[in-house]
Structure 1
């Protein structure tokens, strides 16, 4: 993975914490520059239209902040990311193969029908996850303090994503073992 993509990933992960601490010292308009910078970096380093579209949407949020000097649009960026991920995973369910199946086929090109069905269910589970995570992200943006918003979106949400990956891995091991012995 190129260093610039790795750095962009780290910047994206740090966004909620950076916004939280930045708003302690600067106005939302100043902090909107962080969102614009992130959007530009994302747009310039990606060849995929979906990431460029997300960058444009982030730039629109930043423009709203610049016009209003309100922090709420800055706090809606995680909601936007969850919506984009839901769109990506959901689109792949409507237009197979599912995203998880595509990833699985990188490792196992001759995926059996049971594997295709399993990857479809995993893709559906990720869709449910993004709906739930995006809803909580929206609720924390609108109803919670900046501290709670940053804690959830800059920490807890990442822990939940990790738990989702780990849980799926554990389930997959059991499914595969059952297939070999069943």
Structure 2
């Protein structure tokens, strides 16, 4: 919902969650990619058929096996260009699914939250916003979903469960700067 609210007020919107660590300050090539394609995302190595609930597939009139070959999107990084298709098709549809109790957040079983990576099974878990965006892109663009793929190691890394001592490092840097130490 935040993306839907903010996108009309900026040329490019970058959404990152706490797991994202930028590895470069030069994001101009990323901005160029976003302007060119409208949307830049990163994909996980996991199957959408395995990481989306049966209830969501039913909602969209689909089945898990139809999406086995599509990789699940990682929702921790989204870069979107402010253009009509992104606002009115992609993000409005995503938002509509989020607020519909029968779509993204159906009455789920707590076991759906845990994804055992070693077991291959359709709809073994559910990734809510990621699953919705993955299904939307796959239904609209089929094998061309990869045109929205970010070569993310070029711009950022994903560090789930990782913590930084940002404020301690910033304070130490300020003290070094005050003393003239590089």
- When normalised by structure 1's length, the TM-score is 0.25
Larger RCO (CA under 8 A, 6+ residues apart): 2
Q: Which has the higher strand share?
A: 2
